[in-house]
Structure 1
């Protein structure tokens, strides 16, 4: 099952503490503590939007099928097309990193309530 498939997306991300899903912006959105960390676009041309580091942003956006995410005003959000050269393991890594980055910005109290361990 592909991460670009809604069921595959949900199966992978639902395993992580505090993850919730909502349908908004004509997309399927994953949140942790009420904050967006991944967006799966609902269209014929599937796209996955995640937050990444500045270094990863520069490297990834130089690849075909990956660019700055539209409608996300701040840098470090990338849009990955289903035809990008990234392998499944790499996609999962970047989604998990997005989750970790967003979760680390939550209050310690909320992370504790959600069962999120941040080192």
Structure 2
């Protein structure tokens, strides 16, 4: 099942700890501890937006089909066109995005979510 579909997105990212989903900004939004870590746009092509580290940002945005995410004021958010990365790589970057955002949560909240 492709992570670029809503059902694949929910199944893959739902397996990560403490994840909730909401529909907002014309996208399916994955959050951890109430903070966004990944989005899948409603409109085709279903672009995925996620947070990455500084080195990954530079590498990813050099690839065709991957750009700095619009509407995200801070650097290190990328928007990925379907097919720009294999699903396994995209899932790994989504898991890393989850870890980056979760690391910014309080220890108490991480413990409550089971991701301490």
| Superposition TM-score, scaled by structure 1 size | 0.95
**Structure-2 residue corresponding to 1:59:** 59
Partner of 1:49: 49
Q: Extract unaligned runs of 5+ from structure 1.
A: none
* 2:102 aligned partner: 103
Whole-Å separation in 2 of the counterparts to 1:71 and 1:116: 28
- Alpha-carbon distance in structure 1 between the residues aligned to 2:44 and 2:103: 33
Alignment correspondent of 1:114: 113
Q: Can you list the C-alpha shifts for 1:33-73, whole angstroms capped at 9, x where unaligned? A: 00000000011211000000010000100100000000000
Runs of 4+ in 1 over 2 A off after TM superposition: none
Separation in 2, partners of 1:17, 1:91: 18
Once the two structures are superposed, the pairs formed by residues 50-89 of structure 1 within 5 Å of their partners are: 50-84=50-84, 86-89=85-88
- Residue segments in structure 2 that go unaligned for 5+ positions in a row: none
- Residues 18-29 of structure 1 correspond to what in structure 2 (within 5 A)? 18-29=18-29
The Cα of 1:15 is off from its aligned counterpart by 1.2
RMSD (Å), alpha carbons: 0.6
Q: CA deviation at 1:87?
A: 1.1
2:23 partner SS: strand
